[in-house]
Structure 1
């Protein structure tokens, strides 16, 4: 069984990836599982660069395959904000209810497709021989006029996906995981791991 270190302390992400990554040949371990407490500076300018920084750092510290993601919300009307700063938008400790309310307020008077937005997830896998592979998944939607739903986390209650008639915060976990940015990126990661670990 191959151990893979998932470079995150975000328990919501761990839960989502754990639900989606049900391969009996792989054991997904978190930084907490291996007792590693490290503060990685994410100073990349793209989701991919930040994912690579995290995966490479953890792989070098542990000597094991490391998986990392960097994800966030891009709102077109706001020139792609909050983007790579999604977690730090309005301050890292600011509750998402405030972050969500601020984005809705900034889109006041903006209608229809001009409210377009997407969740982006870039994932990087760093191998002990130094190779790094990346992939990206997205889910398109529009910013809703108010928060709806208590499933998911973060910006989920304000991203409305028209073809399902729900925000990602209203979706059952199984549905969300099957169509989400993280789900799409993880599908690609699974293929990368299958190729690499044969």
Structure 2
């Protein structure tokens, strides 16, 4: 499974994600140039109709690989709460009904676990990172960050559910961590790092 391309599209217009993946691949000595969707304005949003993080990541990666004619990586992630049977899960970004309304999503989740005792507030962030080639070949790697949900938001450094999520072994929420501390343990970083050797194999 290989390709001669030394350029790869990360299916995002988020500059922070691009920088993160560039750093991870550089640390893994994977010689590939990462570009984002800003170089492909004709590529629109891909509907996330999958039932798992991996399915959604693959949908996006394949769509971008076909449109751009280059290998593509896409990711999908969310928070999974034990007391809610693993929800919001793939619906994390639109849990309150409106996509991307972080405050409404967070407040709804807090309301739903308000009567759940602390010892039963286990949760984890999950991320699936998918690599797709224009040929249709694909690979998926996953990353998980376990922790728990707290009573009220704390910290200003994060987004989404970061202010109410305390990682395992920590007393601070993700939003109270520095960017470097978050990147070192994040579910997305873990998924990208797991995908790095796969990418090295596929472009060798």
Whether these two folds match at TM > 0.5 is yes
| Matching of residue 168 in structure 1 with residue 174 in structure 2 | yes
- Tell me the secondary structure at the aligned position of residue 166 of structure 1: coil
Q: Give the Å deviation of 1:111.
A: 1.5
- Tell me the secondary structure at the aligned position of residue 32 of structure 1: helix
| Matching of residue 13 in structure 1 with residue 17 in structure 2 | yes
Higher relative contact order (CA 8 A, sep 6+): 2
Gaps of 5+ in 2: none
The ranges of structure 1 where at least 4 consecutive aligned residues each deviate by more than 4 angstroms after the TM superposition are none
Cα pair distance change 1:27/1:134, threshold 3 Å:
same
Deviations 1:131-161 (A, max 9, x none): 1000110000100111111113211111112
The residue aligned with 1:44 is: 50
| Matching of residue 82 in structure 1 with residue 88 in structure 2 | yes
Deviations 1:50-72 (A, max 9, x none): 00000001111111000000101
Q: Give the Å deviation of 1:77.
A: 0.6
Cα pair distance change 1:16/1:97, threshold 3 Å:
farther
Of 45-54 and 93-102, more deviation after overlay is shown by: 93-102
Gaps of 5+ in 1: none
Output the CA distance in 1 between the equivalents of 2:14 and 2:48. Answer: 15
Q: TM-score under structure 2 normalisation?
A: 0.89
The residue aligned with 2:60 is: 54
Output the CA distance in 2 between the equivalents of 1:88 and 1:18. Answer: 28
Deviations 1:106-141 (A, max 9, x none): 111212231111100001000122210001100001
Output the CA distance in 2 between the equivalents of 1:129 and 1:37. Answer: 18
Q: TM-score under structure 1 normalisation?
A: 0.91
Of 8-17 and 141-150, more deviation after overlay is shown by: 8-17
